[in-house]
Structure 1
Amino acid sequence: MTSEGARGRTYTNPVWPGYLADPFVLATPGGYVAVGTGPGEGAQSLVALASADLVRWEPLGDVLAPDDVPGEATHLWAPEIARMGGEYVLYYSAGVEDRGHALRVATSTSPSGPYRDAGVVLTPDEPFAIDAHPFRDDDGQWYLFYAVDRLEGERVGTAVVVDRLVGPGRLAGDPRPVVSATADWQLFLADRPMYGAVHDWHTCEGPFVVRRQGRYWCLYSGGNWEEAGYGVSAVWAQTPMGPWHEPDGAAAGPTVVRTVPGVVHGPGHASVVTDDAGADWLVYHAWDAAGTARRMCLDRLTWTAEGPVCQGPTTTPQPAPAAGARTG
């Protein structure tokens, strides 16, 4: 939602009133395309929106549906798009409800789709893999950050790893750790039956990487996506393959964006877009106070000595991003 005023354009969150989880925004020659996880319980498709200014969005419909994917998948989650060569490559996970998710690849000649599944499973040896994030370094090397289940360590659960992409549909097969749970706020569920045992299950997921302040920063979401403790934090490294480090204060709770009690609930799974004035913006989903839907929100992202901090969640009119933005 936008408005014009004496001090310039403003917007108010959420910037899209419908359901859109796990939002990712790509700058295109014609504006912006956002893709995310659509609504649904029996099945979930990947959906897209289009915008000229990051705050006024129009629906484009499904870009990929479960019927378009080989196998038994009923739920498609957390898409991201990368332009590789002359085509657009969409990375996503497919599974049955919250079980058996694997990372897959789809391609299109247009960023807004429709996308065609390439028949590739990137993570055949993982029992569960979600939230693929392709990242291209300055030297042209592509990496894939993603979340997998790990049973090692003091706090078992879902963790973020990174591997090199040796082609759009093939990983090098050498995943390295990025972030795993180290704090109580990252608890997903106590006494959760998983893999034939009962665990206090922790979750770190939804990676997104940018290079700022001479470092690589991986933003990630932690905790239970349905609960108020869910939020976004960050780790840093000198190279995409790590080692990765937590900044000071990471144990106290989400450091980038967190719940505003009674107003915005469980903000998370963020991506970053940079506007034409050079300002970074965090695009993320959040529940409304009633918990009826996850909706796409947008707020300024600033960089401090300790790392990135979102100037939100906001629910009042805010200065809008500069038009004609480009991705971060």
Structure 2
Amino acid sequence: MSPGSYTNPVFGGYFADPFVLAAEGRYYAFGTGAGTTAQSLLGLVSDDLVTWTELGSVLTPGALDGATHLWAPEVAHMGDEYVMYYSAGIEDKAHRLRVATAPHPAGPYRDLGASLTPQEPFAIDPHPFQDPDGSWYLYYAVDRLESARVGTAVVVDRLLAPDRLAGNPQPVIVPSADWQLFLAGRAMYDAVYDWHTCEGPFVLYRQGRYWCLYSGGNWQQPSYGVSVASAPHPLGPWEEAPSDGPLVVRTRPGVVHGPGHASVVTDDAGTDWLVYHAWDPAGTARRMCLDRLAWTDRGPVCAGPTTDPQPGPTVRSGR
């Protein structure tokens, strides 16, 4: 069955960095709220991807090494438990990746007390991905000062266990284009750089290749949006088509600003849907949006951001 039509945003509250997991017959969304500490990590549940019910905070507070801001939770089903990855820092500084577990997708998740990236001065946006061969990888964003375009890049490392990385991150998305500029003359790490940003990775396997969606640029600029690179293996090498802007979805000036940090969920008809956050023109909040993701011979393309009624996802009755 289909719920008929829907109109973005599909959830009216503040809900950034949305990730949707299909589990135990329902859809669970995890995102960043406007609060601090454990109240930052929020959950929603839905039967149709359109109508969402709030679960509230999904993380049990624990010792977080003084962190005050928690960002971008994503959840994977590993064995008999659900594993949440997220970052913890102080405002926008010194974020490290952390992990928490729960026996049910709704949580509450219990932090395991481990930092997955102690060697990184800044690490955010963890995305767990299971290869069709069963291997697990973690994609995430880090700061890199040695590249031609200094800034935030996406890397990938093998997950040896839910709470342990191999410690050998490989590059996935390295800033390479003018549209990825976040801020010229930005003071960072005791120096000043023209800072570029590529973040919010999400990986899926389609058309015999691996595709990494990511957000790039400055959300306040018209060039901001979600782009994509592809590779023959989860560790690369990754290739990206040259472009003057993001290839999947981008800002609609005066209508929808800063569409980014996307995830993909597949409905019961096999259609892929892009789930992302976007600001209203007044900049009051980041809200969860949903648009159909189409696959072409050049990769994924989204017709959004849409603001008018759209045909909804196909979901089995009694799911």
The reply to whether TM is greater than 0.5 is yes
Q: 1:309 and 2:304 equivalent?
A: no
**Residues 8 and 128 (structure 1), Cα distance of their counterparts in 2 relative to 1, 3 Å cut:** closer
**Alpha-carbon separation, structure 1, partners of 2:234 and 2:63:** 31
Q: 1:240 and 2:234 equivalent?
A: yes
**Residues 145 and 324 (structure 1), Cα distance of their counterparts in 2 relative to 1, 3 Å cut:** farther
**Alpha-carbon separation, structure 2, partners of 1:75 and 1:102:** 11
Q: How does 1:27-46 map to 2 (within 5 A)?
A: 27-40=22-35, 45-46=40-41
Residue 20 of structure 2 is matched in structure 1 by 25
**Alpha-carbon separation, structure 2, partners of 1:29 and 1:245:** 35
**Structure 2 length as normaliser, TM-score?**
0.96
**Alpha-carbon separation, structure 2, partners of 1:90 and 1:321:** 26
**Residues 22 and 324 (structure 1), Cα distance of their counterparts in 2 relative to 1, 3 Å cut:** farther
- Is there any run of 5+ residues in structure 1 with no aligned partner, and where? none
1:89-112 Cα distance to aligned partner (Å, 9 max, x none): 000000000000000000001111
**Alpha-carbon separation, structure 2, partners of 1:102 and 1:228:** 30
**Alpha-carbon separation, structure 1, partners of 2:56 and 2:47:** 17
8 Å contact 2:64–2:88 — kept in the other structure? no
Counterpart of 1:294 (choices 260, 281, 286) is 286
8 Å contact 1:102–1:130 — kept in the other structure? yes
**Alpha-carbon separation, structure 2, partners of 1:25 and 1:41:** 22
Q: 1:174 and 2:190 equivalent?
A: no
8 Å contact 2:186–2:195 — kept in the other structure? yes
For 1:124, the aligned partner's letter is: P
For 2:238, the aligned partner's letter is: W
1:199-248 Cα distance to aligned partner (Å, 9 max, x none): 0000000000011111100000001234433210000000000010002x
The alpha carbon displacement at 1:271 in A equals: 0.2
Q: 1:188 and 2:182 equivalent?
A: yes
The alpha carbon displacement at 1:283 in A equals: 0.2
**Alpha-carbon separation, structure 2, partners of 1:175 and 1:210:** 19
Counterpart of 1:266 (choices 255, 258, 264) is 258
- Count of equivalent residues: 317
Residue 13 of structure 1 is matched in structure 2 by 8
**Alpha-carbon separation, structure 2, partners of 1:8 and 1:42:** 36
**Alpha-carbon separation, structure 2, partners of 1:43 and 1:228:** 33
For 2:79, the aligned partner's letter is: G
8 Å contact 2:271–2:292 — kept in the other structure? yes
8 Å contact 1:44–1:77 — kept in the other structure? no
**Alpha-carbon separation, structure 1, partners of 2:126 and 2:200:** 8
Q: 1:82 and 2:76 equivalent?
A: yes
What secondary structure sits across from 2:243 in the alignment? helix
The alpha carbon displacement at 1:30 in A equals: 3.1
**Structure 1 length as normaliser, TM-score?**
0.93
Q: How does 1:1-328 map to 2 (within 5 A)?
A: 9-40=4-35, 45-64=40-59, 67-247=61-241, 250-324=242-316
- Is there any run of 5+ residues in structure 2 with no aligned partner, and where? none
8 Å contact 2:278–2:286 — kept in the other structure? yes
1:176-207 Cα distance to aligned partner (Å, 9 max, x none): 00001111110111101111110000000000
For 1:157, the aligned partner's letter is: G
**Alpha-carbon separation, structure 2, partners of 1:17 and 1:124:** 36
**Alpha-carbon separation, structure 2, partners of 1:33 and 1:197:** 42
* RMSD of equivalent CA atoms: 1.7
**Alpha-carbon separation, structure 1, partners of 2:141 and 2:216:** 11
8 Å contact 1:44–1:75 — kept in the other structure? no
**Alpha-carbon separation, structure 1, partners of 2:232 and 2:71:** 30
8 Å contact 1:184–1:251 — kept in the other structure? no
**Alpha-carbon separation, structure 1, partners of 2:116 and 2:5:** 41
**Alpha-carbon separation, structure 1, partners of 2:73 and 2:316:** 23
The alpha carbon displacement at 1:140 in A equals: 0.6
For 2:261, the aligned partner's letter is: H
